[in-house]
Amino acid sequence: TGTAPLLRVSGLEAWYGESHVLHGIDFDVAPGEVVTLLGRNGAGKTTTLKSIMGVIGKRKGSVVLEGTETIALPSRAIARLGIGFVPEERGIYSSLSVEENLMLPPQVRPGGLSLEAIFTLFPNIKERLKSQGTKLSGGEQQMLAIGRILRTGAHLLLLDEPTEGLAPVIIEQIGRTIAKLKQDGFTIILVEQNFRFAQTVADRHYIVEQGKVIDMIPNAELDANIDKLHRYLGV
């Protein structure tokens, strides 16, 4: 497109202890784009998000956000640059109320959404403010986890399987939320198992296999490449 990427990942490698799991991940994301990382279990999608966020022991290569090299920065500094990670486990504290969960992460940069703006995106959260975190449904917990990260001021969101375990009607709601966030200018990297869902929200899809990005499929070409995609995903 000619636009400078918001994020450029090149030659990214990562380890869990002695175990070398990313072997040179390369991809980029334009401002305002939604891209997915698709691939089989264990391919390295979650590890890629964790490496971008700096929450993994050992990593090397290059992760450049808006011109700033982040590979050697601690995760708090990466958060201050505007990257927010919503892990698959969602990280909702059961002993805290919805409101306390929402207020947990500090606002790390200007531009964080106000509570009112978060309630506009997720009306359910407002109704449940005084409830305990665990009293929420899986879908509400996912929305709380996303809402919480928006408070920090993050403008690049890393979402790890937000639809996992959710009913179809809730998945649709998450899809509308992602579309709205895109409309509002957020950039999103989404890890998904459900490529039919991915197809409804994403601009492009990167295929991860054995710790590398092996292909990129523009969303408009996904249907034409469905056999190839099935092969990649083993479905």
What residues make contact with ligand ATP under the rule CB under 6 A? 16, 19, 21, 39, 41-47
Q: In this complex, which beta carbon is closest to ligand ATP, that of residue 36 or of residue 46? A: 46
The smaller minimum CB distance to ligand ATP, of residues 42 and 165, is found at 42
Shortest distance, position 91 Cβ to ligand ATP, whole Å? 16
Residue 47 beta carbon to ligand ATP: minimum distance, rounded to whole angstroms: 3
Q: Compute how many other C-beta atoms are within 10 angstroms of the C-beta atom of residue 161.
A: 20
Could you tell me how many residues make up the chain? 235
Do residues 189 and 158 lie in contact, with contact meaning Cβ atoms separated by under 8 Å? Answer: yes
Q: Which is nearer to ligand ATP, 27 or 122 (CB)?
A: 27
Q: Are 208 and 44 a contacting pair, CB within 8 Å?
A: yes
CB of 42 to ligand ATP, least distance (A): 4
Shortest distance, CB of residue 161 to ligand ATP, whole angstroms?
Answer: 7
Nearer to ligand ATP, 44 or 133 (CB): 44
Nearer to ligand ATP, 39 or 112 (CB): 39
Closest distance between ligand ATP and the C-beta of residue 46, in Å?
3
Query: Which residue, 44 or 84, is less far from ligand ATP as judged by CB?
Result: 44
Detail the DSSP E strand segments found in the chain.
7-16, 19-29, 34-38, 58-65, 68-69, 83-86, 156-160, 187-191, 204-209, 212-218
Single out the residue of 56, 57, 29, 27 nearest to residue 39, CA to CA.
27
Report d(CA 72, CA 78) in Å as an integer.
10
Measured CA to CA, the distance from residue 155 to residue 110 in angstroms comes to 11
| CB atoms closer than 10 angstroms to residue 159 | 27
How many Å apart are CA 10 and CA 126, to the nearest integer?
A: 41
Q: Least Å distance between CB 44 and ligand ATP? A: 4
